[in-house]
Amino acid sequence: MTTKSNPLSVLLDVRSKMDTDVEDELIKACYQLQSVHQYDKDRHTMKQMQALVEAVIETNEGDAVL
C-alpha cells in the first residue's frame, strides 16, 4: 500500500529540519499560491511569489528571513 504525503506537510517538515529562518507562514503562502495556479496556462506565479517574499522582507524591516 502506498501512502501519499501532503506536500505542504513535507515542505514544513523539511524546513524544520534545516537551519533556516524561513517562516512557516511564508512557506504556506507560497505553496497556496503555487497550488492555486498550477494548472493556469497563463500563470504569473513567479512574479507573485517574488511579491510575497518581498512583502515578508519589508514587514521584517529589511531583516531577510531567507
Q: Which range marks the domain in which residue 53 is found? A: 23-66
Three-class SS state of 14: helix
Give the predicted TM-score (pTM) of the model.
Answer: 0.70
DSSP state at residue 41: T
Residue among 9, 16, 41, 66 at smallest CA distance from 49: 66
Domain count for the chain, please give it: 1
Cβ-proximal residues to 13 (8 Å cutoff; 6+ apart), any chain: none
CA distance 65 to 39: 29
The reply to whether 4 falls in a domain is no
The reply to whether 3 falls in a domain is no
The reply to whether 12 falls in a domain is no
Tens digit of pLDDT per residue, the chain (66 long)?
A: 566 789 999 999 999 999 888 889 999 999 999 888 888 777 788 888 899 988 888 887 655 444
